[in-house]
Amino acid sequence: MPSAFPNFEFETQALARGALWVCGVDEVGRGPLAGPVTAAAVRLDPENIPVGLNDSKRLTAARRTVLAQKIHARAEVSIAHASVEEIDRINILRASHLAMQRAIDGLAHRPDHVLIDGNAIPQSLTLSAQALVKGDARSQSISAASIVAKTCRDALMVGLAQQHPGYGWETNAGYGTAAHLYALRHLGVTPHHRRSFAPVHNILYQEK
């Protein structure tokens, strides 16, 4: 019976094999029609892991904020992005992996082993790595990465919403809700919209 909460088992196994620096990596923002994709890399202190880590999607926004503050205070954290322009140029999967690589590269200590959420390891990654499907619900390091990445990206989208009101980014984080799609049709496409995504592409094509 799998645990209802992520644990430190994958990290412990890597440490037992001789790794000194193990980090978890996750990204948020693959699906939205607007905004960058954001990734975080987190190395937890095994002796000081915040209580309550879980897949960020299972936590309330308020709980994520509290946990993100604790993670930043107790762990080594790096957050990075891939821009809308990069998403449109190289596709969302490769842009997600680019953001992950940037987050790993931004850590103060080069990790010996990397736990990555999903079923694929970025091709550019030359470190020892393990892909974990639903890793944010299995590994505390990946869970921590998912929490800080989502908290960061949500705050970024709130800021962009102030610059471009009407699309509801402060609540939908750029995802294609009915209200967002309505605004796209009536207010038009902003510089922060992903032109390679079908709903945005179709509107631009119609305009032409």
- Cα dihedral sign for 81, 84, 90, 93? positive
pLDDT at position 77 = 98
Range of the domain at 26: 9-155
114 falls within a domain: yes
174 falls within a domain: no
Res 177 pLDDT > 80: yes
What is the C-alpha separation between 103 and 127, in angstroms, rounded? 13
Res 132 pLDDT > 50: yes
Q: How far is CA 204 from CA 22, 30, 33, in A?
A: 44, 21, 13
103 falls within a domain: yes
Q: Give per-residue pLDDT as tens, 141-168.
A: 999 999 999 999 999 999 999 999 999 9
Res 2 pLDDT > 90: no
Domain count, the chain: 1
How many secondary structure helices (H) and strands (E) does the chain include? 8, 5
177 falls within a domain: no
CATH code of the domain covering residue 19:
3.30.420.10
Longest Cα–Cα distance in the chain: 60
129 falls within a domain: yes
Q: Give per-residue pLDDT as tens, 63-72.
A: 999 999 999 9
180 falls within a domain: no
Q: In terms of Cα–Cα distance, which of 167, 161, 195 is closest to 86?
A: 195
Between 93 and 208, the higher pLDDT residue: 93
Query: Which pairing describes strands 113-117 and 37-43: parallel, antiparallel, or unpaired?
Result: unpaired
Q: Give per-residue pLDDT as tens, 12-64.
A: 999 999 999 999 999 999 999 999 999 999 999 999 999 999 989 899 999 99
47 falls within a domain: yes
Q: Give per-residue pLDDT as tens, 8-26.
A: 999 999 999 999 999 999 9
Give residue 4's pLDDT band: very low, low, confident or very high (50, 70, 90). Answer: confident
Residue 48 structure tokens: 């000081």
pLDDT at position 206 = 77
68 falls within a domain: yes
User: Which pTM was predicted?
Assistant: 0.95
